[in-house]
């Protein structure tokens, strides 16, 4: 993590801004004239983590490139709530083609920019977990393998929210979705082997892979700033809570994201050329329950007689992350 | 310059002369030789300033082209058969976004059973996806149509498919006049996109459009093709004026004056048809043919004008719309609404079944004797059909049809005898 | 119109042979059309390619079913595939073999065939000698020019040069010329017999 | 660019879509009362002045501080800082060392020679302040800044009152005291020392004062009856401590017994040690828990070798020795005699049993109510007699320097209002910013910086100051430990975490504004505000 080492500034770099920090040390989001790449008036739910993550990321990219960014968007919540005719919330050149081809379309844009000799224009592809880890996975892997000059950002809210909260390959075990109801003898999503796309991205040996969370703005901005400058295929996986799909309070979006990180369930790290180069060390570690019980999708694990066995399995996953990534 | 080249090579060189800036390639027979040729030209520098991208699927191939076209550069790809079905979603998307991509289809059948030989099932499956579809009769025309296609596509901001019969044209060596770069440059101006992803003038492309406007967007796509009906002949005329040969246009008639029977068909089979027409004429039969070049948009008026005077029309199709029969026939019939003349659909050449001059002549003979049904199947092996149907009647577990038939024919799946 | 059908095995350059024939005809100012028996054949499988030559545009797109000439690149095919289908009794036959028709057991089969139009030539051996590889197709084209007289050996050489380059090209041309001569000789011999 | 209909759109056009209509709750910026401010008897806006100290603007911080308290250097030393007792940070790691920063600012003011200004034009009114103790000086200071002409009559030889005659040097160096007082006087206040007021009405009439503030300290030590031999040496704490100023140290002997459990008792015992007593023993009738003296004071005393006899009373005092009786607490917690006796060697006994105020100056003042030896005042600090106000030790309340300073301010405001024949309206109190209102995630972990203390050996032999001050670095650090409870400190969280860009940043010092056209009311801003300065209130549509 290359977040600046916290000098003692009351809130250090934990808050968005800090009047005691030097101008250049402040977050892009703290800037009075920030670009608001995803403009007001979008139709995201109250407390939408994806809307937040997208503005954080694209603003950071615009700031780092002097607004020379083009974005390709996969079908999904972000696309639907940001560009319903006759209005768009985007301030940058933006295109939506299909659900599963964002990475490929971005490869095309990048190729066009190369052909036009506009390497100064940076290309970003973005999509949700469905468009990235499931239906868009083939195009994503192809883009990685060719090492096309594209930064792919996945906003992971762990299910197909746009269509009404159905299970995706990023949905965590035991989570209730519309297609993994909390009934039967294994309520919620079944325990699979998991599909860790950041690790899969690393297996492509692309120059840069990182995970980030809306709960850690500085880290997120810093990673986008680093990634946007690198040539070749880059991947950033951002954890963005969905109040609707997770059954969390809209006002808890950032808290939930923070708990995911501090519990170890969502490891925040950075990898270059396939090797982990930095990780976020847990600041105030919490048991997974602290995270899970904020979300109704896990309500069936609690209540009168808590499902201690399942909770233990989830805790084990967190502990494994903590061990594997040295969190 | 006149040369004896493979059809694929001719197409590749014609495309290269159009100065594409992004080419996406994914291998599928029989289209592969085209992108192989282009790939080589990009690598050895003959096609400068072009990005050649080997993608991981046809879906990605067209998606990459969508991205590059939206970013304002001339974009090209090619596919066939299963490939165009695999990219189907993107095919609709490209036209919906109004991106002037040109794509070659090396026409080939669709499985199952898997079959690599020629027919029109693939491009026909996507006929209503909002793309303009042009069918080449010869390799000369295949080459020329690509040059016209880029001009047409970019004028209308609408994607164009150039359909070239797999193997029959793509793999055939024949005489082709490959124009010079100057000639092509004079005919095809640099790409001036209607919309472009530009950081100095940002827009959002591909908005979600609801009931309040979707209908109009669709209509406007149709309107583009209506305009194409005017532009296609104009562009063909200008092409003829510059290059000194007839290529493209909406359709071409052959010995249709005073013809009682007129055969309508798409693509390379028109050559063999002309031979058959000549033989019939030699026998004193008043027969003519129409080569339909522009299937989308469908030239209703031109078709009506070409067929209006005949007594019967025989539409020869290389695609069986299972459950109804002909597809081209429907358009032909529509063009003739109100005119009373006999119309026959003949399904022929599926999965590479050779369409011989002999078969065509006997077909025309029967047509002349008014022996044709509404729907006919050229050189369909009735005996084989009967045996298989018998098997099916005999036992529920009658086994896989394709393999049964091959066993009957005593051939192996790989071996294909010339006749 | 003169139609040629070439039989061989995948990897023996059957399609290339057809292509070179068409190029040779093209160089002589004729229209020509060459195409394979469109298939997915692999190395060793029986394959067929066709070539048409004419003074006017060739519009016909059907496979060659009534060949004016047959080129058989691999004699082992003789009893496996119906090579002679559609061949008229005065059609040309050129077989790549070191053996005579008799040794090949074709005498009965070709009983009623005009024998001055049938010939074998050791194309593979010639190829080995000149090229160092048993690729008979170029050599056979030389033989074809000799037996049919449809093409000059010069334009065959030109087509070979157009297809190959450098040593390979020269070697193939040499093999073709050698085959051309050997076919002319054996034709002369059989005339003498008659 | 000729844009295709509907599928291609102009950037940022969604501004036309006012999502504010989705809202059922609206975020509203509030200022809440930080617990430190709430606990300060002098009514200091502690969070307010720390805010400026955080950015290193010490002058501004000092000016902010002295709006309520004119003597930071002194308060930072003598105050028992109840503010720190209620500091929310204590629940995180440890309370912000407010007194240390306050003292730092006071000392910085002395070094830099910062001065006060008068805020209002001369009112032409004259006010008499009786007593130059903390409440007297505080009142005089505020009145002067309000434009009134003020005279202080002090019975003693020097200004400072109990700060000088009650608090030993080692806690409050005299140069500091003198400097703080001088700065106040420099406002143009007239000070007359050795000027005992015996008849307040006469004085006011004679000096034609429009109002008076009485702030006489409790200088008379309470006596308790102890059977004593003629030779027994018995003194009272106040006079012992007073005699430390000027007229020569008292003779206490080698073994000193101090009787009582208040801070004064500790002051005397510690003073005795410094004067060379081998033993300084405090006799207190109850337990350590029940002791009224401040724990920190007791701790320092014990470090310096002061002994305490818990649960003991003095039965009689004789030559060189006293007799003490063991006590035990009854169920109500009151000490009861046990009859168990013990002898203690003692060259002198100092009584520290509390003090009384000399109210003689009030004779023949009408409508005056005196109860338990102190004057009763109304909510405006005014006695029953119009125009005569009172505060500090003279009125019912805890007797500390800080309380006294608070009285002075409050009285001054009311006197000012009375002189302008209006009534002072105190601003409404904000809701308290409790710990539960904070989102403490955002605060950096930072244990408090401790002040240096003098080593015990020197503390036993000299009157040097025990507690050292913070240097600029540590003072800044300590200031920045403030959580700014209940008051926006412009961390930009609300601005950053709004998914709808509905928070408008107004610029440095201007804080923020909610754009209700777009705010969907998700409440993220309120949830992620570290200091609890945003409240979600239901929409009433």
Domain membership flag for residue A7: no
Specify the pLDDT at position C194: 62
Which of B49, B53, B71 lies at the smallest CB-CB distance from A113? B71
* Residues B157 and B127 grouped into a single domain: yes
Cβ within 8 Å, pair B205-A96: yes
CATH no. for residue A205?
3.40.50.970
Question: Hey, is the C-beta of A253 within 8 angstroms of any chain D C-beta?
Answer: yes
Cβ within 8 Å, pair B198-D8: no
Read off the pLDDT of each residue in A206-219 and give the average, rounded to a whole number: 97
Read off the pLDDT of each residue in A281-289 and give the average, rounded to a whole number: 97
Domain membership flag for residue A305: yes
Give the phi and the psi of residue D376 in degrees, each rounded to 5.
-85, 135
Cβ within 8 Å, pair B68-A109: yes
Q: CA torsion, points B130, B136, B137, B141, in degrees to nearest 10?
A: 140
Helix (H) or strand (E) holding A126: strand A122-128
Residue ranges in B18-118 assigned as alpha helix (H): 32-43, 58-70, 82-86, 88-96
* pLDDT above 50 for B419: no
Q: What is the pLDDT of residues B331-378, one digit of tens each?
A: 999 999 999 899 999 999 999 999 999 999 999 999 999 999 999 999
Q: Give the pair of three-digit tokens for residue A249.
A: 């309070």
Give the phi and the psi of residue D512 in degrees, each rounded to 5.
-135, 165
* Residues B200 and B276 grouped into a single domain: no
Q: Looking at the complex, report in whole angstroms how far the Cα of residue D438 sits from the nearest Cα belonging to chain A.
A: 13
* pLDDT above 60 for A6: no
Specify the pLDDT at position B417: 42
Provide the residue range defining the domain that includes C45.
2-193
Kindly tell me the sign of the dihedral angle through the C-alpha atoms of A127, A132, A134, A140: positive
CATH 3.30.70.20 spans which residues of chain D? 18-31+488-538
The mean predicted confidence, pLDDT, of chain D is 93
User: Residue C3: beta bridge partners?
Assistant: C52
CATH number of this structure's domain D250-350: 3.50.50.60
Q: What is the pLDDT of residues D25-57, one digit of tens each?
A: 999 999 999 999 999 999 999 999 999 999 899
Cβ within 8 Å, pair D489-A30: no
What is the 3-class SS of A159-191, one letter each residue?
A: CECCCCCECCCCCCCCCCECCECCCCCCCCCCC
- Assign residue D434 a region (left: φ > 0; alpha: ψ between -120 and 50; beta: otherwise): beta
> How many Å apart are CA D458 and CA D461, to the nearest integer?
5
Mutate to test the interface with C, among B81, B109, B166, B173 (most CBs of C within 10 A): B173
The yes/no answer on whether domain D126-220+356-419 falls in CATH 3.50.50.60 is yes
* pLDDT above 70 for B414: no
CATH no. for residue C25?
3.40.920.10
Specify the pLDDT at position A232: 98
pTM (whole model) above 0.80:
yes
The total domain count for chain A is 1
Q: Give the pair of three-digit tokens for residue A2.
A: 């290359």
Domain membership flag for residue A226: yes
Q: How would residue C45 be classed by pLDDT, with cut points 50, 70 and 90?
A: confident
Q: Give the pair of three-digit tokens for residue B180.
A: 């010079």
The total domain count for chain C is 1
Best CA proximity match to D265, nearest among D240, D282, D253, D278: D282
Provide the residue range defining the domain that includes A53.
32-325
450-509 in D: which are within 8 Å (CB) of A? 477, 480-482, 484, 489-493, 495-497, 499-502, 505, 507-508
Specify the pLDDT at position D143: 98
Which of B22, B93, B213 lies at the smallest CB-CB distance from A108? B22
Count of A–B CB contacts within 8 Å?
Answer: 159
B318 secondary structure, DSSP code: S
Best CA proximity match to C62, nearest among B117, B287, B358: B358
Provide the residue range defining the domain that includes B273.
251-377
Domain membership flag for residue A3: no
> How many Å apart are CA D149 and CA D128, to the nearest integer?
9
Read off the pLDDT of each residue in C4-19 and give the average, rounded to a whole number: 94
Q: What architecture is domain D18-31+488-538?
A: 2-Layer Sandwich (3.30)
Give the phi and the psi of residue D453 in degrees, each rounded to 5.
-125, 150
Q: What is the pLDDT of residues A295-306, one digit of tens each?
A: 999 999 998 999
Give the phi and the psi of residue D459 in degrees, each rounded to 5.
-65, -30
- Percentage, residues of chain D above pLDDT 90: 76
Domain membership flag for residue A277: yes
Q: Give the pair of three-digit tokens for residue D506.
A: 């107004």
Mind giving me the DSSP string for A55-114? Answer: HHHHHHHHHHHTS-EEEEE-SSHHHHHH-BTT---B-S-EEE--SS-HHHHHHHHHHHHH
The mean predicted confidence, pLDDT, of chain B is 95
Cβ within 8 Å, pair D9-B216: no
Domain membership flag for residue A314: yes
CATH 3.50.50.60 spans which residues of chain D? 126-220+356-419, 250-350
Q: Looking at the complex, report in whole angstroms how far the Cα of residue B142 sits from the nearest Cα belonging to chain A.
A: 26
Question: Hey, is the C-beta of B171 within 8 angstroms of any chain C C-beta?
Answer: yes
Specify the pLDDT at position A158: 98
Cβ within 8 Å, pair B207-A84: yes
Within 8 A of B54 by CB-CB distance, chain A residues are 146
The total domain count for chain B is 3
Domain membership flag for residue A24: no
Q: Exposure pattern of C140-165 as b/e (b: 16+ CB <10 Å)?
A: bbbbbbbbbebbebebbbbbbbbbbe
Within 8 A of D10 by CB-CB distance, chain A residues are 88
Q: Give the pair of three-digit tokens for residue D34.
A: 């930080």
Q: CA C41, B116, C140 angle in degrees (round to 5)?
A: 35
Q: Give the pair of three-digit tokens for residue D85.
A: 């007792």
In this structure, chain D runs to a length of 541
Read off the pLDDT of each residue in A196-200 and give the average, rounded to a whole number: 98
Q: How would residue B66 be classed by pLDDT, with cut points 50, 70 and 90?
A: very high
Instruction: Find how far residue D456's CA is from the centre of its chain.
Output: 27
């Amino acid at each position: 993590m290359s977040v600046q080492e916290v000098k003692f500034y009351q809130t250090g770099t934990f808050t968005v801004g800090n009047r005691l920090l030097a101008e250049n040390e402040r977050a892009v989001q703290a800037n009075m004239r920030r670009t608001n790449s995803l403009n007001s008036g979008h139709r995201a739910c109250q407390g939408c983590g994806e809307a937040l993550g997208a503005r954080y990321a694209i603003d950071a990219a615009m700031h780092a490139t002097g607004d020379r960014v083009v974005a390709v968007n996969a079908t999904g919540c972000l696309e639907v709530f940001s560009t319903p005719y006759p209005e768009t919330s985007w301030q940058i050149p933006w295109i939506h083609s299909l659900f599963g081809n964002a990475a490929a379309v971005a490869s095309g844009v990048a190729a066009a920019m190369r052909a036009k000799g506009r390497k100064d224009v940076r290309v970003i592809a973005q999509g949700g977990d469905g468009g990235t880890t499931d239906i868009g996975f083939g195009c994503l892997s192809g883009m990685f393998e060719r090492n096309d000059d594209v930064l792919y950002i996945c906003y992971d809210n762990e299910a197909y929210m746009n269509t009404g909260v159905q299970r995706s390959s990023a949905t965590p075990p035991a989570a209730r979705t519309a297609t993994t109801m909390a009934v039967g003898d294994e309520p919620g999503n079944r325990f699979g082997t998991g599909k860790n796309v950041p690790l899969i991205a690393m297996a492509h040996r692309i120059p840069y892979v990182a995970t980030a969370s809306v709960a850690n703005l500085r880290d997120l901005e810093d990673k986008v700033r680093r990634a946007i400058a690198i040539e070749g295929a880059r991947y950033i996986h951002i954890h963005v809570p969905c109040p609707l799909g997770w059954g969390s309070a809209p006002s808890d979006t950032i808290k939930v994201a923070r708990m995911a990180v501090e519990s170890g369930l969502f490891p925040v790290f950075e990898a270059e050329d396939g090797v982990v180069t930095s990780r976020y060390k847990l600041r105030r570690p919490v048991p997974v329950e602290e995270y899970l019980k904020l979300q109704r999708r896990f309500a069936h694990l609690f209540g009168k007689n808590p499902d201690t066995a399942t909770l233990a399995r989830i805790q084990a996953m967190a502990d494994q992350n903590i061990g594997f990534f040295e969190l | 310059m006149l040369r004896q080249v493979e059809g694929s090579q001719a197409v590749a060189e014609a495309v290269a002369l159009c100065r594409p800036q992004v080419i996406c390639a994914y291998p599928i027979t029989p289209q592969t030789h085209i992108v192989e040729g282009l790939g080589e030209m990009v690598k050895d520098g003959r096609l400068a300033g072009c990005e050649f991208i080997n993608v991981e699927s046809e879906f990605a191939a067209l998606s990459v082209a969508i991205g590059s076209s939206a970013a304002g550069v001339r974009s090209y790809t090619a596919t066939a058969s299963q490939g165009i079905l695999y990219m189907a979603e993107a095919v609709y998307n490209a036209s919906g976004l109004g991106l002037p991509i040109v794509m070659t289809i090396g026409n080939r059948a669709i499985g199952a059973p898997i079959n690599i030989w020629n027919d029109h099932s693939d491009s026909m499956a996507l006929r209503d996806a909002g793309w303009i579809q042009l069918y080449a009769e010869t390799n000369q025309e295949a080459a020329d149509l690509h040059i016209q296609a880029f001009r047409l596509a970019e004028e209308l901001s609408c994607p164009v498919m150039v359909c070239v019969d797999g193997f029959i044209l793509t793999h055939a060596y024949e005489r082709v006049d490959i124009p010079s770069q100057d000639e092509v440059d004079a005919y095809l101006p640099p790409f001036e996109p209607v919309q472009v992803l530009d950081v100095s003038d940002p827009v959002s492309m591909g908005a979600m459009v609801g009931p309040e406007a979707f209908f109009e967007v669709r209509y406007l796509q149709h309107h583009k093709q209506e305009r194409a009906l005017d532009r296609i002949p104009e562009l063909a005329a200008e092409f003829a004026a510059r290059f000194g040969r007839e290529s493209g246009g909406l359709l071409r008639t052959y010995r249709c004056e005073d013809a009682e029977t007129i055969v309508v068909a798409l693509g390379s089979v028109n050559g063999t048809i002309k031979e058959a027409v000549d033989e019939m004429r030699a026998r004193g039969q008043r027969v003519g043919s129409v080569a339909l070049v522009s299937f989308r948009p469908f030239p209703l008026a031109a078709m009506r004008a070409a067929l209006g005077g005949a007594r019967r029309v025989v539409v020869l199709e290389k695609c069986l719309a299972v459950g109804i029969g002909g597809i081209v026939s429907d358009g032909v019939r529509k063009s003739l609404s109100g005119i009373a003349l006999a119309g026959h659909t003949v399904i022929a050449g599926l999965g590479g079944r050779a369409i011989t001059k002999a078969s065509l002549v006997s077909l025309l003979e029967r047509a002349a004797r008014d022996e044709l049904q509404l729907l006919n199947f050229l050189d369909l092996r009735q005996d084989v059909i009967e045996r298989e149907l018998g098997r099916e009647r005999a036992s529920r577990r009658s086994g896989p049809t394709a393999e049964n038939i091959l066993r009957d024919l005593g051939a192996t799946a790989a071996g294909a005898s010339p006749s | 119109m003169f139609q040629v059908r070439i039989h061989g095995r995948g990897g023996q350059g059957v399609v290339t042979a057809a292509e070179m024939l068409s190029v040779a005809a093209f160089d002589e100012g004729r229209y020509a059309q060459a195409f394979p028996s469109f298939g997915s054949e692999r190395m060793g499988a029986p394959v067929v390619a066709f070539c048409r030559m004419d003074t006017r545009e060739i519009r016909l797109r059907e496979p060659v079913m009534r060949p004016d000439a047959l080129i058989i690149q691999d004699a082992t095919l003789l009893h496996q595939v119906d090579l002679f289908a559609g061949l008229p009794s005065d059609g040309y036959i050129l077989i790549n073999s070191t053996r005579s028709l008799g040794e090949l057991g074709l005498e009965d089969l070709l009983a009623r065939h005009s024998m001055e139009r049938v010939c074998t030539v050791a194309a593979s051996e010639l190829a080995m000698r000149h090229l160092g590889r048993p690729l008979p197709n170029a050599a056979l084209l030389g033989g074809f020019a000799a037996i049919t007289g449809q093409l000059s050996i010069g334009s065959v050489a030109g087509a070979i040069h157009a297809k190959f380059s450098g040593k390979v090209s020269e070697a193939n041309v040499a093999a073709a010329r050698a085959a051309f001569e050997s076919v002319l000789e054996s034709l002369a011999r059989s005339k003498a017999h008659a | 660019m000729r844009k295709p209909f509907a599928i291609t759109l102009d950037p940022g056009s969604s501004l036309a879509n006012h999502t504010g209509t989705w809202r059922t709750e609206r975020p509203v910026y509030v200022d809440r009362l930080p617990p430190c401010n709430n606990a300060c008897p002098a009514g200091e806006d502690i969070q307010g002045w720390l805010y400026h100290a955080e950015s290193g603007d010490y002058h501004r911080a000092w000016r902010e501080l002295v709006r309520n308290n004119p003597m930071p250097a002194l308060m930072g030393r003598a105050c028992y800082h109840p503010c720190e007792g209620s500091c929310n940070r204590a629940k995180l790691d440890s309370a912000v060392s407010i007194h240390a920063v306050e003292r730092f600012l006071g000392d910085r003011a002395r070094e830099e020679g910062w001065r006060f200004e008068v805020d209002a034009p001369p009112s032409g009114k004259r006010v008499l302040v009786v007593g130059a103790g903390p409440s007297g000086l505080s009142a005089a200071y505020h009145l002067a800044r309000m434009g009134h002409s003020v005279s202080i009559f002090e019975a003693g030889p020097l200004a400072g009152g109990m700060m000088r005659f009650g608090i030993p040097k080692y806690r409050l160096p005299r140069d500091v005291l003198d400097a703080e007082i001088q700065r106040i006087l420099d406002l143009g206040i007239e000070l007359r020392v050795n000027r005992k007021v015996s008849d307040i009405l006469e004085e006011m009439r004679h000096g034609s004062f429009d109002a008076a503030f009485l702030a006489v300290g409790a200088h008379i030590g309470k006596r308790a009856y102890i059977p004593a031999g003629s030779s027994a040496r018995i003194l009272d704490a106040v006079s012992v401590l007073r005699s430390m100023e000027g007229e020569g140290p008292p003779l206490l002997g080698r073994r000193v017994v101090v009787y009582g459990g208040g801070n004064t008792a500790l002051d005397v015992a510690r003073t005795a040690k410094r004067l060379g007593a081998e033993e300084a023993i405090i006799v207190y009738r109850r337990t350590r828990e029940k002791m009224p003296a401040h724990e920190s004071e007791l701790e320092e005393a014990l470090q310096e070798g002061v002994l305490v006899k818990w649960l003991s009373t003095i039965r009689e005092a004789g030559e060189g020795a006293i007799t003490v009786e063991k006590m035990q607490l009854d169920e109500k917690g009151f000490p009861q005699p046990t009859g168990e006796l013990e002898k203690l060697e003692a060259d002198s006994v100092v009584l520290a049993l509390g003090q009384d105020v000399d109210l003689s100056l009030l004779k023949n003042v009408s409508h005056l109510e005196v109860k338990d030896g102190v004057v009763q005042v109304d909510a405006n600090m005014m006695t029953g007699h119009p125009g005569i106000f009172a505060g500090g030790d003279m009125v019912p309340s805890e007797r500390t320097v800080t309380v006294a300073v608070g009285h002075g301010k409050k009285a001054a405001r009311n006197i000012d209002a009375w002189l302008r024949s209006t009534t002072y309206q105190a601003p409404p109190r904000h809701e308290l910013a409790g710990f539960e209102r904070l989102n403490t995630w955002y605060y950096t972990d930072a244990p408090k910086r401790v002040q240096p203390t003098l080593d015990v050996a020197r503390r036993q032999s000299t009157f040097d100051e025990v507690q050292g001050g913070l240097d600029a670095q540590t003072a800044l650090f300590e200031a920045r430990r403030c959580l700014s409870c209940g008051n926006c400190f412009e961390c930009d969280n609300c601005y950053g975490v709004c998914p709808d860009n509905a928070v408008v940043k107004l610029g440095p010092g201007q804080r923020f504004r909610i754009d209700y056209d777009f705010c969907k009311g998700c409440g993220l801003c309120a949830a992620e505000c570290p200091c609890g300065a945003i409240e979600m209130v239901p929409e009433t549509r």
